């Protein structure tokens, strides 16, 4: 356990030592402050719209930072030859995979927490009414989203280069988030092989859109039931475990 | 246990290339063992097999009586790679803390140990400077410090003098002989035959993945005591080349 925690802490340290996070934070701050300043002129619909953009930016920045961090962990260990030093110590390959994943997930989650606090603070100062239950559910489900995403990027990192991994992970994430809900319906209209492929994608790929409660939150819809939240937690854990197993499968016998 | 490293009939194949071909070696407890051979002879592959970084095609490797795949076996060794860049966003103190945490060392003990090691390798003044500002020789000193962080019983060093200036080499020699006096075993590969000759008790010479000579240094040199190791090594390698 010492090894897993030490590796995870190292990954978390990495994200706060690089400029990417601070650039994203400054951009988010500027956009949120701009959105907040518009309220001053009593244009509340515009504020809601800009808050939606602000929340989308927070999600997007957290996704990009997490995917990039998770994707570069294993390749940079190989490139810098630090993996040999690390695995020469009492660290098993499974601990390495677990430590890198936990580090990437918690680093992404910490970035998201900072962005989210900023967002909530701005929302609160402008006296926008919101449901705390929905605010918490939006926050929690997005953490589950980052859990699956970081496991996916970590798992793929044992097969792909950093740039290929970041591109594939982000493209898959954006495609599924955008077209995931309509994929089954759209596949039904396709020719047979494409239909089966489309349906296979619908059932096999993780539905990131399940974890996105932005619309509910911004437009004050009703919160999710506890059972649904539990189901989504198990859904995220299943996919995260699958992607980590996929990575470990390649890494366990890898010549270093 | 007399032998801390035992390699029995080790064969390692990379795709269609045989890197090690039936290598057998034993390293006694408390000795400095020099592992030498020309480029591509299989020295680094042997070290990787010793650390469990590659699985042998055939044969057996034991570290302190255990296969290197077992973390308990690796807990007793310190490894210095030929070249590693480490985590560029960290300072030597942070790097050593990270490796110390892996061994579950208490923070207070670790802090003292880090100060001692930085002083030992001559990096006390730059302990908090990011490692990306370091020269190759300075990184090599950090590398030595990380190998010693948990006071290992056995050290495995791959080209430890690489990138070091003459003064640093002399310091390294002193560190290694002091470690030997403490009863630690040192296994190291090197191209610096003068270093090997100065500090090693035993040597092994390999070529094309096969063992050519091994034993106590004075036994290996035998009737050629008047020769320097470098000349003996060249004659041995060329002789073996002639045979094959």
User: What DSSP string describes A13-73?
Assistant: HHHHHSHHHHHHHHHHHHHHHHHHHHHTTT-HHHHHHHHHHHHHHHHHHHHHHHHHHHHHH
Asked if B49 and B61 touch (Cβ cutoff 8 Å), the reply is: yes
B106 interfaces chain A, CB cutoff of 8 Å: no
Residue of B nearest to A3 (CA): B102
Q: What is the DSSP letter of A18?
A: S
CB contact under 8 A, B87 and A80: yes
Query: How many C-beta atoms lie closer than 10 Å to residue B196's C-beta?
Result: 23
Residue of A nearest to B48 (CA): A256
Q: What is the pLDDT of residues A50-77, one digit of tens each?
A: 678 888 899 999 999 999 999 999 999 9
CB contact under 8 A, B88 and A80: yes
CB contact under 8 A, A91 and B102: yes
Query: How many C-beta atoms lie closer than 10 Å to residue A241's C-beta?
Result: 11
Q: Residue A35: what are its φ and ψ, rounded to 5°? A: -60, -40
CB contact under 8 A, A10 and B74: no
Q: What is the DSSP letter of A78?
A: H
More confident residue, B240 or B3: B3
CA distance B173 to B191: 15
Asked if A144 and A240 touch (Cβ cutoff 8 Å), the reply is: no
Residues of A in contact with B146 (CB under 8 A): 85
CB contact under 8 A, B89 and A88: no
How high is the ipTM of this complex? 0.88
Residue B244's pLDDT band, with cuts at 50, 70 and 90, is very low
CA distance B90 to B167: 26
Strands B185-189 and B32-36: parallel
CA distance A186 to A188: 5
Considering the entire predicted model, what is its pTM?
A: 0.89
B104 interfaces chain A, CB cutoff of 8 Å: yes
Residue of A8, A22, A81, A85 for testing the chain B interface, max B β-carbons within 10 Å: A85
Closest by Cβ to B54, choosing from A17, A88, A256: A256
Give the residue from A114, A143, A118, A109 showing the smallest Cα distance to A11.
Answer: A109
Residue of B nearest to A87 (CA): B53
Q: What is the pLDDT of residues A225-235, one digit of tens each?
A: 999 999 999 99
More confident residue, A193 or B9: B9
Query: How many C-beta atoms lie closer than 10 Å to residue A61's C-beta?
Result: 20
CB contact under 8 A, A253 and B55: yes
Provide the percentage of residues in chain A whose pLDDT is more than 90.
59
Asked if A7 and A103 touch (Cβ cutoff 8 Å), the reply is: yes
Residue of A nearest to B80 (CA): A85
Asked if B9 and B59 touch (Cβ cutoff 8 Å), the reply is: yes
Q: What is the pLDDT of residues B81-112, one digit of tens each?
A: 988 788 989 999 999 999 999 999 999 999 99
End-to-end Cα spacing for chain B: 37
A128 interfaces chain B, CB cutoff of 8 Å: no
More confident residue, A86 or A46: A86
Residues of B in contact with A9 (CB under 8 A): 98, 101
Closest by Cβ to B54, choosing from A14, A89, A255: A255
The structure tokens 């041995």 sit at B236
* Residue-level pLDDT at B225: 63
Q: What is the DSSP letter of B82?
A: S
DSSP per-residue codes, A126-176: TT----HHHHHHHHHHHHHHHHHHHHHHHHHHTTS-HHHHHHHHHHHHHHH
B87 interfaces chain A, CB cutoff of 8 Å: yes
CB contact under 8 A, A253 and B72: no
Sheet arrangement for strand B3-14: B17-28, B3-14, B58-63
**A-B interface: how many C-beta pairs under 8 angstroms?**
82
Asked if B36 and B190 touch (Cβ cutoff 8 Å), the reply is: yes
CA distance A63 to A38: 27
Q: What is the DSSP letter of B66?
A: B
Asked if A117 and A124 touch (Cβ cutoff 8 Å), the reply is: no
CA distance B206 to B214: 9
CA distance A166 to B121: 39
CA distance A23 to chain B (A): 18
CA distance A12 to chain B (A): 12
Domain segments of chain A as ranges: 2-251
CA distance A81 to A61: 30
Q: Which domains can be identified in chain B, with CATH numbers?
A: 1-71+187-244 (3.40.50.300)
CA distance A208 to A214: 13
Give the residue from A136, A130, A65, A129 showing the smallest Cα distance to A103.
Answer: A65
Residues of A in contact with B75 (CB under 8 A): 89-90
Q: What is the pLDDT of residues A38-51, one digit of tens each?
A: 655 555 566 677 67
């Amino acid at each position: 356990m010492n090894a897993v925690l030490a590796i995870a802490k190292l990954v978390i340290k990495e994200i706060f030592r690089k400029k990417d996070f601070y650039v994203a934070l400054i951009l988010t701050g500027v956009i949120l402050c701009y959105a907040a300043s518009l309220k001053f002129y009593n244009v509340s619909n515009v504020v809601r719209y800009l808050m939606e953009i602000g929340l989308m930016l927070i999600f997007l920045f957290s996704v990009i930072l997490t995917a990039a961090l998770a994707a570069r962990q294993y390749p940079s260990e190989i490139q810098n030859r630090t993996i040999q030093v690390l695995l020469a110590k009492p660290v098993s390959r499974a601990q390495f995979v677990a430590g890198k994943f936990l580090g990437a997930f918690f680093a992404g989650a910490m970035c998201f927490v900072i962005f989210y606090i900023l967002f909530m603070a701005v929302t609160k100062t402008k006296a926008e009414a919101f449901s705390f239950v929905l605010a918490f559910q939006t926050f929690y489900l997005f953490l589950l989203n980052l859990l699956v995403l970081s496991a996916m990027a970590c798992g793929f990192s044992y097969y792909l280069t950093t740039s290929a991994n970041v591109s594939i992970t982000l493209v898959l994430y954006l495609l599924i988030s955008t077209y995931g809900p309509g994929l089954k319906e759209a596949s039904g209209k396709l020719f047979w092989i494409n239909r089966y492929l489309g349906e296979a994608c619908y059932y096999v790929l993780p539905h990131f859109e399940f974890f996105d409660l932005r619309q509910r939150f911004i437009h004050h819809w009703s919160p999710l039931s506890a059972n649904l939240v539990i189901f989504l937690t198990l859904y995220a854990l299943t996919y995260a475990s699958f992607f980590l197993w996929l990575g470990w499968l390649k890494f366990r016998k890898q010549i270093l | 246990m007399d032998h801390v490293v035992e390699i029995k009939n080790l064969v390692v194949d990379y795709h269609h290339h045989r890197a090690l071909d039936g290598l057998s070696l034993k390293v006694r407890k408390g000795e400095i063992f020099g592992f030498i051979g020309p480029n591509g002879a299989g020295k680094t592959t042997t070290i990787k097999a010793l650390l469990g970084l590659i699985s042998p095609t055939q044969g057996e490797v034991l570290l302190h009586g255990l296969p290197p795949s077992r973390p308990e076996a690796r807990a007793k060794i310190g490894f210095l790679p030929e070249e590693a860049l480490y985590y560029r966003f960290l300072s030597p103190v942070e790097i050593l803390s990270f490796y110390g945490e892996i061994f579950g060392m208490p923070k207070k003990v670790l802090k003292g140990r880090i100060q001692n090691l930085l002083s030992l390798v001559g990096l006390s003044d730059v302990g908090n400077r990011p490692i990306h500002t370091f020269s190759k020789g300075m990184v090599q000193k950090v590398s030595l410090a990380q190998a010693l962080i948990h006071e290992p019983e056995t050290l495995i060093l791959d080209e430890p003098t690489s990138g070091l200036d003459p003064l640093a080499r002399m310091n390294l020699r002193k560190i290694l002989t002091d470690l030997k006096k403490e009863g630690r075993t040192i296994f190291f590969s090197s191209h610096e035959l003068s270093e090997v000759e100065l500090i090693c008790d035993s040597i092994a010479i390999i070529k094309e993945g096969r063992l050519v000579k091994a034993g106590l240094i004075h036994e290996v040199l035998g009737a050629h005591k008047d020769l320097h190791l470098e000349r003996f090594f060249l004659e041995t390698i060329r002789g073996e080349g002639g045979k094959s």
